[in-house]
Each structure stands twice: as structure tokens, then as C-alpha cells.
Chain A
């Protein structure tokens, strides 16, 4: 009915009259979720390109395209959320320098340029070869994508490698800034005791790495099915476990610090975490989708399980981690708004299916990157042919 803010389904205690509306709903849950996947997928690629983790070679190129597919959709939930999407570019044309939000357009665009350039340089030898072997419009397309150069001499490739190392190098801090910054958009809101913590960018960044790695493992195993490189999968799982330990510990530390300091904010947070957020936070995010994957990943990393078992558990645990991060985004974004600033009450919220920012549009926005990934796969071969020397 309202079209912009969705109305809470119920309330406990005293809630300020305007706090009965949840202004940031599913779309703003998806926004950090998608940008997190982008940042995380890029980190996977950088582990190979910058830190030379050789075992990740089979997915080093794929993870960049995976990041690009999600990056292409990162602004969609925002545009769908805005009351006046036609004015969206004003954020870049006439930004207010004091706003924590105004920088997103610039950071996002700069990151997109770096990611695109890195993909084009990494794929250049492949694209040149494809341009030579294809005909018609595909030939012209590959001609354009190979940046107009078909020079594959050793000197040219050495220069490419230098450019790639540089792009991947600056790409890491940029990916970190991209998602740390998204955390700061929430962490900088002093009026909201759940959001206002300097830990927020850290938690966002770590959960981004986790969701990116999990997304890559899942996508790689679903697309390649029986032909996956098991060393690559096992290495990914170790990184996933490492990042997840940090992520989960920080998430718990944040709540523990609040509880231990027990300022007047804790009373509000307590009402929230044991009230409207109990199921999605304690049962969902913490118990089922954090504790279980935490132990599963520990076993996968420490015990030498046979390939069949890993093939079964790896996608399962990745899916669980992806759900954990989605729940974490939900609990932060929605949870933060369920506490009224009256400090005396909270609201309950359930998204509608067919609202402008409801569940159906959310599903469409989450399926779209997969469609884009499919199309990208038709242009850029995801996987390295066995004989190709570099990726």
C-alpha cells in the first residue's frame, strides 16, 4: 500500500509512531549481500594472482567473472529501493561530502573499472585466439574485447603480467574498501545501537570474504559437477574455514561486548535479540548456519576425508555459509530497524511477496547475476584449457 516503507506486522512495548515502518527492507538486505559476494570472489582470484596460491588456479579466472556478474547487479536493489531512482546520479553529480553514502558511486565505479580491466588483460591471450578462430560478429566482439591488440609475443605477455599484477594489487584494497565502506554506512549511524560499532566494517568485510569463497565453491561444483579439481576445492575450504573463524568470532564478540558493558543500549539490544530477532539470529544465523558449518569446515580442513565425502559436504557447507551471511545481513539491516528509537519497544516485520521491495523482486535480483554469468560464460571461457600456460 505504502510503496516505500513497509509496515511492521506487530509491536511490543512503546514504539515511536514513525518507527512502525521499516524503511530499509529486503532490497537493502541484498545490497550488502551482493557487494559482499563481489568483494569475496575477487579476494579468491587475488589469492592466486597476487599471493600465488597455485591450487586456486582452476577458479582464478572464473571468480573474476563471478564477481563481475554480481557487480553488474549491485546497484539494482538500490535503484528499486529509492523513492526517486531518476535522481540517483545526483549522488555522483552533486554529492554531499559529509554523507557516508555519497562515496558509494565513486568507490563502486572505480572498482568496476579495475575489475573489468583485470578481466580483459587476463583474458587477452584467450580473446586473441578466439578472435582468430571465430567468424562474423563474434570475431568483431573478440577483436574489441582484446583491446585491439593481437600481439602475443613474450614481451607483450610479460607486460600483460605486470599490468595484471598491478590491477590485482590495487584491486585488493579496493575490494576491501568497497565492502568495509558498506559496513561503515551502517556502522556510522550513531542513533542505532545495533549498527553504531567500529566493528561493523570489519564484520562486513570478513563476512564478504566468506560469502565470496562459499559462492565460488558452490558455483564451481555445480557447473563442473564431476570434473572439479579436488585440491582446489580442499584449498578453498581451508580458506573458507579460516575467514569464517574470524568472521564468526567477531560477530559473537560484538554481541558479547555489548552484553558485558551492559550500558543502557544493552537493554534495547536484549529486547531485540530475544524478541523479534530470536529465530533469525540465535536459531538461524548462530546455531544452524554458523555452529554447524564451523564444525563441518573444521572436519573438512583437519581430517583427510575421501573425495566422495568432500564432493558431498563442500557444496552443502558452502550453501549453509551463503545462508548464514544472508541471515547476518537480514539481522543487521532489518534487526537494526526493529528497535524503536524510543528505547522502549520493538516491532515485528515479515516481508510481503509482491511488494515493490518484496520477496519476488528479491528473487529476481538474485537470479539475474546467474543469468549474466551464463551470458558471460558464452563470451569468456570460464575454465582453462589444459594446454594453456597462464591464467
Chain B
């Protein structure tokens, strides 16, 4: 009796174990398949309408602009971190950075950007002589000039302007002469020590073509970075640029006509 009962119990446990292993294996397989086969539910929603269906080399029917709202930026550095992650930017080189401006009542202007603002601004400056009159942060990135000096000077046409207004670099053509770096009035370019070519911010052209916002715009917690379509009269950038606002570009006397605009730009900003 005892022996029979024990045998039955052991049989029951064995059956349960088998069933358990079967279920675990099945679940694991099904889960892995979900990761491999793209499911519609995982698709990232379109942030820039009307781009996913577009074919051809250039974007048509849209004109993109970038607006930085200086009055909103809090200097957290999230944009810089997002950018560094997106492009694996080597240390010491910056596709985008954030500057801290402090103006005291003696009209001294103090500017700094330690590590390009990547670590945020966690400590106040202690070397300010007068009483602080004004303080703000200025994010910097490619100005996407309408008349880009870098495109003008590139000896092989590796830096070029697309028909949709973006200034990009063909990394397979760039000879790495650095003439474009000398010519850029905004110092947004650098020689990438990994690729040995010129490099710079592209306003995340690869994301824009997929209907996504530039990485820095996407992560900005206070919407200080705005990206949108000037052909869309309902877009925020259109409204900002077509309504009365204190809005300007950097170094307008250079004649480069940047497509990057600054809301609330102070005259001290270079």
C-alpha cells in the first residue's frame, strides 16, 4: 500500500514537472519570436507628419526650421546626452552644446560651457564681480545656413546642401582637410578622430526622414528646442517665426542666413 501510494505520488510529480518545463519553454519561444518579428504595436508613432510615405532622394513639400527658446532652457544637458548617445560622439568633440551666460550689473559677461554642458550646470559660478543682472542658457548646434560657408569651401563637394535645405556630409567623400571647420562661423564642426572626416550636427536627418524629431528635441524636458515644418501654417515654428516675437539668428552679419533661430536672443550672445 505504502509502496503503491508513493509510486502514484512520484508519477504525479513527474507529470507536473514535465508540464511545467513544457510551459516555460513554450513561453520563452513565443516571447523570443515577438522580439524577432516586428509587431505593429511596437512602431514608434510619427512625430513629423507626412514623411513616412515619401520616396526619392529629398524631402518634398516641407521646409524645416529649428527654433531654440532661450527663455525656456534650464541647462540640464539632456539634449547633449541624447546627442552623444545618438552619434557616439568622441569625448572632447561636440555636435551640440549648451552655454551658460551670466551678466552682472557692471555689464560683465561671463560665459562657460564645461564639457559642452553634458553634465548640466549643477554648481553656480563663484567669480561674478557684480550683482547678477541676467542669466540664461544658450544651446548651440548646426545653423543649417541657407548660404553655408562650409559647402562653399569644401574642395570635393563632400559637404553639400540637400534640396530640402539640410547641410550634410558625405563621409565617403570627405578628404579630412578641415577647410570647412575653418570656414564655419559657428564652430559647430570638428574632425572626427574615429572616421577621420569632418563631422557636425545634421538636425538628425536620418530621424527626420523617418518622421521622427531630432534626438535633442525629443528629450528636451522644457521644449526649449523646437523643430518643425514652415510649410505647415499650424506648426509651432511657423507661428513663432510669423508672429511678433523677439527672435533672431547668430552672427547675422556673416551673411550665412541660418535656419536656426533663437527666441529671446540677447545681444551678448555670439
Binding site for B on A (CB under 8 A): 2-5, 7, 14, 16-21, 23-24, 78, 81-85, 87-88, 90-91, 94-96, 98-102, 185, 188-192, 336-337, 340-344
**Smallest CB-CB separation from A188: which chain B residue?**
B153
**Smallest CB-CB separation from B171: which chain A residue?**
A84
Question: What residues on A are CB-neighbors of B188 within 8 Å?
Answer: 18
| Interchain CA distance A138-B152 in the complex, whole Å | 50
A96 touches B111 (CB 8 A): no
Q: Name the one of A18, A94, A191, A337 contacting B185, with C-beta atoms under 8 angstroms.
A: A191
Q: Name the one of A81, A83, A98 contacting B152, with C-beta atoms under 8 angstroms.
A: A98
Question: Residue among B113, B155, B189, B197 with the most chain A CB within 10 A?
Answer: B155
A83 touches B197 (CB 8 A): yes
Fill in one digit per residue for B200-227: 1 if any A CB lies within 8 Å of its CB, else 0.
Answer: 0000000000000000000000000000
Question: What residues on B are CB-neighbors of A189 within 8 Å?
Answer: 153, 182-183
**A83-B191, A99-B153, A191-B184 known, 12 other contacts, Cβ within 8 Å:** A14-B99, A17-B113, A78-B177, A84-B175, A84-B197, A87-B173, A91-B156, A91-B175, A95-B155, A98-B153, A100-B179, A341-B270
Q: Within the complex, what minimum Cβ distance (angstroms) separates B150 from chain A? A: 10
Q: Supply 15 A–B pairs (Cβ within 8 Å), ascending by A.
A: A14-B99, A16-B186, A18-B94, A18-B188, A91-B156, A94-B157, A96-B157, A99-B154, A102-B155, A189-B153, A190-B254, A340-B187, A341-B184, A344-B109, A344-B270
| Interchain CA distance A96-B177 in the complex, whole Å | 14
Question: What residues on A are CB-neighbors of B99 within 8 Å?
Answer: 14
Question: Residue among B113, B175, B176, B188 with the most chain A CB within 10 A?
Answer: B175
Q: State which residues 130-167 of B face A: CB under 8 Å.
A: 140, 149, 151-157
- Does any Cβ of A come within 8 Å of B116's Cβ? yes
B176 touches A84 (CB 8 A): yes
A96-B156, A99-B155 known; A23+B175 contact, CB < 8 A? no
Question: What residues on A are CB-neighbors of B181 within 8 Å?
Answer: 18, 23
A21 touches B191 (CB 8 A): yes
Q: Within the complex, what minimum Cβ distance (angstroms) separates B227 from chain A? A: 22
Q: Within the complex, what minimum Cβ distance (angstroms) separates A21 from chain B? A: 7
Binding site for A on B (CB under 8 A): 92-94, 97, 99, 109, 111-113, 115-116, 140, 149, 151-157, 173-179, 181-191, 193, 195-197, 254-255, 270
Question: What residues on A are CB-neighbors of B140 within 8 Å?
Answer: 16
**Smallest CB-CB separation from B176: which chain A residue?**
A83
B193 touches A23 (CB 8 A): no
A18 touches B190 (CB 8 A): yes
Q: Within the complex, what minimum Cβ distance (angstroms) separates B209 from chain A? A: 25
Q: Name the one of A2, A14, A96, A98 contacting B113, with C-beta atoms under 8 angstroms.
A: A14
Q: Is the interface of B mostly helix, strand, loop or mixed?
A: loop
| Interchain CA distance A20-B191 in the complex, whole Å | 12
Q: Which 4 A-B pairs have the closest CB atoms?
A: A83-B176, A83-B196, A191-B185, A16-B187
Question: What residues on A are CB-neighbors of B115 within 8 Å?
Answer: 17
| Interchain CA distance A191-B185 in the complex, whole Å | 5
Q: Is the interface of A mostly helix, strand, loop or mixed?
A: loop
Q: Within the complex, what minimum Cβ distance (angstroms) separates B56 from chain A? A: 23
A341 touches B178 (CB 8 A): no
| Interchain CA distance A21-B193 in the complex, whole Å | 12
A17-B116, A21-B190, A343-B270 known; A84+B174 contact, CB < 8 A? yes
Q: Name the one of B92, B116, B182 contacting A337, with C-beta atoms under 8 angstroms.
A: B182
A23-B178, A102-B155 known; A341+B186 contact, CB < 8 A? yes
Question: What residues on A are CB-neighbors of B173 within 8 Å?
Answer: 87, 90, 94
| Interchain CA distance A214-B149 in the complex, whole Å | 37
Question: What residues on A are CB-neighbors of B186 within 8 Å?
Answer: 16, 341
Question: What residues on A are CB-neighbors of B183 within 8 Å?
Answer: 189-191
A100-B153, A102-B155 known; A4+B193 contact, CB < 8 A? yes
Question: What residues on B are CB-neighbors of A23 within 8 Å?
Answer: 178, 181-182, 190-191
Question: What residues on B are CB-neighbors of A3 within 8 Å?
Answer: 193, 196
**Smallest CB-CB separation from A341: which chain B residue?**
B187
| Interchain CA distance A386-B99 in the complex, whole Å | 72
Q: Name the one of B149, B152, B174, B178 contacting A24, with C-beta atoms under 8 angstroms.
A: B178
Q: Within the complex, what minimum Cβ distance (angstroms) separates B8 from chain A? A: 74
Q: Name the one of A4, A7, A17, A336 contacting B196, with C-beta atoms under 8 angstroms.
A: A4
| Interchain CA distance A297-B154 in the complex, whole Å | 42
Q: Within the complex, what minimum Cβ distance (angstroms) separates A27 from chain B? A: 11
| Interchain CA distance A85-B176 in the complex, whole Å | 8
| Interchain CA distance A78-B176 in the complex, whole Å | 11
B152 touches A99 (CB 8 A): yes
| Interchain CA distance A96-B197 in the complex, whole Å | 17
A81 touches B177 (CB 8 A): yes
| Interchain CA distance A26-B1 in the complex, whole Å | 98
**Smallest CB-CB separation from B110: which chain A residue?**
A14
B155 touches A96 (CB 8 A): yes
B92 touches A20 (CB 8 A): yes
**Smallest CB-CB separation from B184: which chain A residue?**
A191
B157 touches A191 (CB 8 A): no
A2-B193, A24-B178 known; A101+B187 contact, CB < 8 A? no
Question: Residue among B116, B140, B177, B195 with the most chain A CB within 10 A?
Answer: B177
Question: What residues on B are CB-neighbors of A336 within 8 Å?
Answer: 182
Question: What residues on B are CB-neighbors of A85 within 8 Å?
Answer: 175
